[in-house]
Amino acid sequence: MGARARQFYIIVFSFLTLLALSSAFQGKKQYKPCKSLILFFHDIIYNGKNAANATSAIVAAPEGANLTILAGQFHFGNIAVFDDPITLDNNLHSKPVGRAQGLYIYDTKNTFTAWLGFAFVLNSTDHQGTINFLGADPILAKSRDISIVGGTGDFFMHRGVATIMTDAFEGEVYFRLRLHIKFYECW
């Protein structure tokens, strides 16, 4: 085998190896976001005693449950309405850059899952506009994805996926979510 041919085989072999490795490690295409943001929001659930600080309230409950204590069976059937501050870091007392507004619904009887429908209403020097989210949230999973189905203002017509992580969870009164917002359709 001449030097040229050997060189050729080495190149082809390296290429095939890379191909095999990449398909082993990464089952499907990876897309790069055209825009991304990391934001936190903070939810303080009304429990009958914290009216001044609460940012959300239970407004519907299954039979036998009430509106100040989350329902017994993994909160199945509770609907909460929220208006939560959004911050750039994980500090509840940081200056908010907007509000997360909408609802979450506990929707399973034998584990903690929720359905989320809400908007980010951003109003800062960096971002003016809204982002609309929708999706299933298997709360106990370390990281879970919901859909970004539209936006307005700076986020006009954007679509994408948001990866949620529970950044803090204190009793049944406070939780903080970290959203990695990844837009794959920008305008």
Among 138, 140, 169, 172, binds a second copy (CB under 8 A): 138
Query: What's the Cα-to-Cα distance from 175 to each of 7, 43, 103, 156, rounded to whole Å?
Result: 59, 5, 15, 29
Residue bearing tokens 């920008």: 186
Among 35, 112, 136, 165, binds a second copy (CB under 8 A): 136
DSSP annotation of 163 reads E
DSSP-based three-state secondary structure for 136: strand
Binding letters toward a second copy, positions 45-84, x by CB under 8 A:
-x-x--------xxxxxxx--xxx-------xxxx-xxx-
Nearer to a second copy, 8 or 172 (CB): 172
Q: Which two tokens stand for residue 150?
A: 């539209």
Q: How far is the CB of 155 from a second copy (least distance, A)?
A: 9
Nearer to a second copy, 5 or 112 (CB): 112
- What is the C-alpha separation between 158 and 154, in angstroms, rounded? 9
- What is the C-alpha separation between 27 and 133, in angstroms, rounded? 26
Which positions lie near a second copy, rule CB under 8 A? 28-29, 31, 46, 48, 57-63, 66-68, 76-79, 81-83, 99, 101-103, 105-109, 113, 115, 117-119, 121, 130, 132, 134-136, 138, 145-154, 156-157, 159-161, 184-185, 187
